[in-house]
Amino acid sequence: MPDSSMMDNRNGMVSKIQSRIRTDSFKSNYDLVGKELGRGKFAVVKKCVEKATGNEHAAKFLRKRRKGEDCRRDIINEIAILESAKANPFVVSLHEVYETTSEIILVLEYAAGGEIFNQCVADNDEAFTEKDVIRLVRQILSGVAYLHRNNVVHLDMKPQNLLLTSSRPLGDIRIVDFGLSRRMDNVKEVREILGTPEYVAPEILNYEPISTATDMWSIGVLAYVMLTGESPFLGEDKQETFLNISQVNVDYSQDVFEGVSNLAVDFIKTLLIKNPRKRATAEECLQHPWLSGPPQPHAGLLPSLEEAESEPESPDSAQELVIMASY
């Protein structure tokens, strides 16, 4: 991990990287193949093949200028955090970095199974079983425990940023998108947080300090969605969603958790706690009987979305969050 001299002392951003930034042509070393893999506000991700090896990768094209501001620093922070987590198998690996006049291109390990989002909102036969969720949540926690041990918070844990190495058969987790991530040592302020409100912890809404516990809240939301296909705090609009979060208004009824074990519900309850200090840590979660116990009997298929009242929105239409905070 970088030492503190490599830190931007104001806001937990890391400013030194190890990767060589290539300025030769990305296009002469890679062929773009297939359609876009994904797209966010400032990035587009495309599948590519390295000409020299024939290996598949995902290229994330990040615009350096956003809303008229130079955001190179943010991209360098994203690269530095990816580098610091390269020893963990559940964090996507970074192969190469290119820079053009307008963009920085991250050549990443290709996660062929796509976002777990798709299976969270899928019909019965494609939805996760509880056994799948146990295995995947263990992997997510193992990656996040590694980040947290190294004082890194992800701050954007949601199904669109959790990918699979393959979908059928169900592969392994790759955590992606370190665009909002910060190093916690020396964090004095976090100025702007953009994300999807459904997964955001109450302390963010209340302008209180963020910590590793902030990620743990999102993992609670994530486990809820993976097991039920429903987003626990999603309201009709942003205001209602925020109110549901700040009141920790969660439905744990049998209706929603049909066919899901009590241990799973108990696990979620250790995370969806308003006080960040009382939430379980990643290490504690890995010791929870739901994840550490002997394999449980098959819990049966998850309820279909036809029966469910509301389903999580697609990433494009999801309510958007912009918070200006100063700690």
Q: Which residues bind ligand ADP (CB under 6 A)?
A: 37-38, 40, 43, 45, 58, 60, 92, 108-111, 115, 160-161, 163, 176-177, 179
Q: Which amino acid is at 79?
A: I
**Residue 181 binds to Mg ion (criterion: CB under 5 A):** no
User: Measured from the CB of residue 111, what is the shortest distance to ligand ADP in angstroms?
Assistant: 4
Bin 29: left if φ > 0, else alpha if -120 < ψ < 50, else beta.
Answer: alpha
CA nearest to 119, candidates 110, 128, 132:
128
CB of 50 to ligand ADP, least distance (A): 14
State the binding partner of 115 from ligand ADP, Mg ion, none, CB within 5 to 8 A by kind.
ligand ADP
For ligand ADP, the closer of residues 66 and 269 by Cβ is 66
In angstroms, what is the minimal distance from the CB of 155 to Mg ion?
A: 11
Closest approach, Cβ 271 to ligand ADP, in A, equals 22
Query: Distance between CA 101 and CA 267 in Å, rounded?
Result: 48
Give min distance, CB of 305 to ligand ADP, in A. Answer: 20
In angstroms, the first-to-last Cα distance of the chain is 24
Partner from Mg ion, ligand ADP, none contacting 60, C-beta within 5 to 8 A by type: ligand ADP
How far apart are the C-alpha atoms of 293 and 281, rounded to whole Å? 18
Nearest CB to ligand ADP, comparing residues 83 and 115: 115
Q: Which residues pair with 69 in a beta bridge?
A: 66
User: Which stretch in 5-13, 18-26, 107-115, 160-168 sits in contact with Mg ion by CB under 5 A?
Assistant: 160-168
Cis peptide before 169 (omega within 30 of 0): yes
C-alpha to C-alpha distance for 169 and 174, rounded to whole angstroms: 15
Is the Cβ of residue 90 or residue 290 nearer to ligand ADP in the bound state? 90
The site map against Mg ion for 117-156 (x = CB under 5 A) is: ----------------------------------------
Among 11, 161, 181, 244, binds Mg ion (CB under 5 A): 161
Q: How far apart are CA 311 and CA 269, in angstroms?
A: 21
| 144-157 as b/e: b if 16+ CB within 10 A | bbbbbebbbbbbbb
Instruction: Indicate the residue among 45 and 260 with the shorter CB distance to Mg ion.
Output: 45
Q: Among ligand ADP, Mg ion, none, what does residue 92 contact (CB within 5–8 Å per kind)?
A: ligand ADP
**Shortest Cβ 11–ligand ADP spacing (Å):** 18
Q: Which residue, 125 or 316, is less far from ligand ADP as judged by CB?
A: 316
* Residue 214: its H or E element: helix 212-228
Return d(Cα 186, Cα 78) in angstroms, integer.
17
Q: Which residues are catalytic?
A: 156
Cβ closest to Mg ion, residue 161 vs residue 241: 161
# of chain residues touching Mg ion (CB under 5 A): 2
Q: Which of these ranges, 144-152, 177-185, 206-214, 236-244, lies near Mg ion under the rule CB under 5 A?
A: 177-185
- Angle ∠(239,242,247) on CA atoms, nearest 5: 125
Residues 6 or more apart in contact with residue 33 via CB below 8 angstroms: 47, 48, 49, 56
Which residues contact Mg ion (rule: CB under 5 A)?
161, 177
